[in-house]
Amino acid sequence: MTPILYHGNPDPRPVEHTLRAGNLTVTYQNGLLRSIRLGNREILRNIYFALRDENWATIPAHITDEQIDAGEGSFRVSFVCTHAREEAQIIRWNCELTGSESGEIRFSIDGTVLQAFQRNRAGLCVLHPIDGTIGQSVRIGHPDGSHTDSHFPKLISPHQPFFQVASMQWSHADGGEATLTFVGEVFETEDQRNWSDTSFKTYCTPQDQPKPVLLQPGNRIQHTATLTVLGEAPTQPTDSETPIQLISLPPSSPSSLLPKVGLTHAIDQPKLKTDEAAHLRKMGLEHLMIRLDFGRADWSEWLTVGLSEAKRIGAEVVLSIVFTDNYQTELYQLQMAVEWLNPVVAYVEVLMAEQSTPDALMAEVAPVLRQVFAGSQLGTGPLTQFTELNRNRPDPTPLDYLVYPMNPQVHAYDNQTLIENIAAQAHTVRTARSFAEGKAIHLGPVTLRPLPDPVADHRHPSLLAAGWLLGSLAALASEGPTRVTYFDTKGPRGVMEGIDPETNLGRVYPTGLLLMALADWQGAVCVSTQTDAPLSVSSLHVQKDGRELLLLANHTWDEQTVALPDDWPLPTSLWSLDETNAQACMETGSLPEAALHTERQIVLKPFATVGVVV
């Protein structure tokens, strides 16, 4: 039961191997080289390879014949990887990963196509971390032998910053230099923060080349990426027994208030029952987002239900309108519905079903919406990703705010990737503010999976999801968006399970319990802090009315020890939502009881969320 509670399914902890190549440390995991580090400085986040079909779907891979030889300062890993769909093998790869005592890491793949396949990508990809990389100068080597001097962009680049890449040489934050070379194909680099990934990706098959490409049986694909790093490893302590520290950060936004938090009305779920509405009221939600999708024949029914449920939970209404190409008729239908329902709406945002909302459409509908929803704030943005907003920047003049959704798994789905990608959320706000011309930034829905998606993420009921939510709030608070909308109110994408009509039983998920912990802290001042191991433990520190709340979330399978700041008053009140009490708390819909804590150090159980209050 514990793995399910930890991360939503029974899969055990992934097997990892820590390897060394001279001064470099790397984690090998199921065919990937992750977190290549010089001391504590991450040089590359990931080297891997992928097969993507004509619709950009990722083809599953199966690894066999794995051999790992690890020395004190070198390694060699070999394996066979087969990409297959519905048991039909597509490509078989022979793979060799090596690290030398001189600090060189090489990742080589040799693939043989087994059946005809339409591919958009087949081969190596490299992820570069954001921390310590943005703003750094880089020299791009091209296939013709020429070079271009550039830099890793600080704000999110709408399009690829680097083209025709055969090699990259850049300075890392500790003063050394890294060189990355590619053999086998031309590469280019995209800014994955567009999809709220905390990385730049250098990948094979430039986007301007025709695709899909038809692979024929017998075709060979051979790629090699080689990394060399110059510089000495920093001498910071890396002892696993050293407690994680909280460090102060300079605020990057003049606004330091906790964003207004709300949820999304759960369409296609039964109406809220009395106990469910009571649980939601305990979460202190500022708003409820109602998605009015004119692509659905039953839009008016769900609008009526959503307005009623917003009243029941005491939340303001965000009306998120998805127009189709028939928007003029739909605008008239909306006017008629408003005359009948007479709703009180705080925010109105305009989206388009198949594209970013054109300025011409906003110019046409904005005056009507201003009249119909007098006193409401008006916003617009994309239905899918921040990418669309960044590449199709609207005219903010007729607007009160810009809005966009986010999720952490456009490109990868594992637990570690979800946590790694938390930090990118703040970068999207910073970039959006650069072209918003002073207008507010709202976010939502911020979800675990891309929307619309018929499959809910299995991690919704888990402790990991609560930790991800805490990390997201902390990251966003650092940039000061006005409003953030998260998951559904209930159901498989919700913060609670929903009451079973036969048993009259239901559960509040750990995400919902976390929102209950924050209910009394809406409008609190955020203290700019984070831990010195943010991929292991996230922190959110807020102050209000002379009180302080510190929330900590462990993202790992191991216990983590965090040291409270020296000026934190002791004794203090502490509660922990973890493997020992989470099931009972979910069933009762209440937080764990707090206890007096007298120690400067706090031990967090795996995937636990802890609250410390003074």
Note the pLDDT tens digit of each residue in 514-544.
999 999 999 999 998 899 999 999 999 999 9
Q: Does the pLDDT at position 250 exceed 80?
A: no
Percentage of residues in the chain having pLDDT higher than 70: 96
Higher pLDDT, 428 or 454: 428
Q: Decide: residue 457, CB within 10 A, 0-12 exposed, 13-18 middle, 19+ buried.
A: buried
pLDDT of the residue at 184 = 97
pLDDT of the residue at 454 = 77
Helix axes 274-282, 299-313, angle to 10 degrees: 60
Q: Does the pLDDT at position 344 exceed 80?
A: yes
Tell me the C-alpha distance between 546 and 304, whole Å.
41
Note the pLDDT tens digit of each residue in 64-90.
999 999 999 999 999 999 999 988 999
Across the chain, mean pLDDT equals 93
pLDDT of the residue at 499 = 77
Note the pLDDT tens digit of each residue in 442-501.
999 999 998 877 789 999 999 999 999 999 999 999 898 999 999 999 999 999 998 777
Tell me the C-alpha distance between 259 and 540, whole Å.
12
Which single residue is written with the structure tokens 């060399």? 228
DSSP 8-class letter at 216: -
Q: What is the mean pLDDT of residues 210-232?
A: 94
Which single residue is written with the structure tokens 């075709």? 219
Tell me the C-alpha distance between 577 and 581, whole Å.
6
Residues pairing with 80 in the sheet = 64, 94
- The DSSP annotation for 416-465 comes to HHHHHGGGHHHHHHHHHHHHSTT-EEEEEEE-SS-SS-SS--TTTTSHHH
What CATH number matches the domain at 531-613, 3.40.50.720, 2.60.40.1180, 3.40.50.1220, 2.40.30.10?
Answer: 2.60.40.1180
* Residues ≥6 apart with Cβ < 8 Å to 140: 147, 148, 149, 150, 162, 164, 165, 167, 168
Q: Decide: residue 501, CB within 10 A, 0-12 exposed, 13-18 middle, 19+ buried.
A: exposed
Q: Is residue 357 very low, low, confident or very high in pLDDT (cuts 50, 70, 90)?
A: confident
15-230 and 256-518+525-530: identical CATH topology:
no
Query: For residue 286, which amino acid is it?
Result: E
- The DSSP annotation for 128-143 comes to EESTTTTT-EEEEE-T
**Which is it for the CA torsion 512, 517, 522, 527, positive or negative?**
negative
Percentage of residues in the chain having pLDDT higher than 90: 85
Note the pLDDT tens digit of each residue in 153-163.
999 999 999 99
What CATH number matches the domain at 256-518+525-530, 3.20.20.80, 3.30.70.1450, 3.90.480.10, 3.40.630.30?
Answer: 3.20.20.80
Is the separation of the CB atoms in 585 and 594 below 8 Å? no
Which residue ranges make up each domain of the chain? 15-230, 256-518+525-530, 531-613
Q: What is the mean pLDDT of residues 405-433?
A: 95
Is the separation of the CB atoms in 607 and 418 below 8 Å? no
Q: Residue 131 corresponds to which tokens in the numbers above?
A: 């921390």
Q: What is the mean pLDDT of residues 411-418?
A: 93
pLDDT of the residue at 148 = 98
DSSP 8-class letter at 59: P
* DSSP SS3 for 305: helix
Note the pLDDT tens digit of each residue in 24-47.
999 999 999 999 999 989 999 999
Q: What is the mean pLDDT of residues 362-383?
A: 94
Longest dimension (CA), the chain: 75
What is the fold of 15-230?
Beta-galactosidase; Chain A, domain 5 (2.70.98)
Is the separation of the CB atoms in 405 and 443 below 8 Å? yes
**Which is it for the CA torsion 514, 519, 520, 523, positive or negative?**
positive
pLDDT of the residue at 251 = 59
Q: Is residue 237 very low, low, confident or very high in pLDDT (cuts 50, 70, 90)?
A: very low
Q: What is the pTM of this model?
A: 0.95
Helix axes 463-477, 424-435, angle to 10 degrees: 30
- The DSSP annotation for 475-525 comes to HHHTT--SEEEEEESSSTTBSB----TTT----B-HHHHHHHHHGGGTTPE
The neighbour count for residue 503, using CB atoms within 10 Å, is 7
Residues pairing with 382 in the sheet = none
Note the pLDDT tens digit of each residue in 315-342.
999 999 999 989 999 999 999 999 999 9
* Residues ≥6 apart with Cβ < 8 Å to 3: 9, 10, 11, 12, 13
* Residues ≥6 apart with Cβ < 8 Å to 298: none
Tell me the C-alpha distance between 322 and 371, whole Å.
19
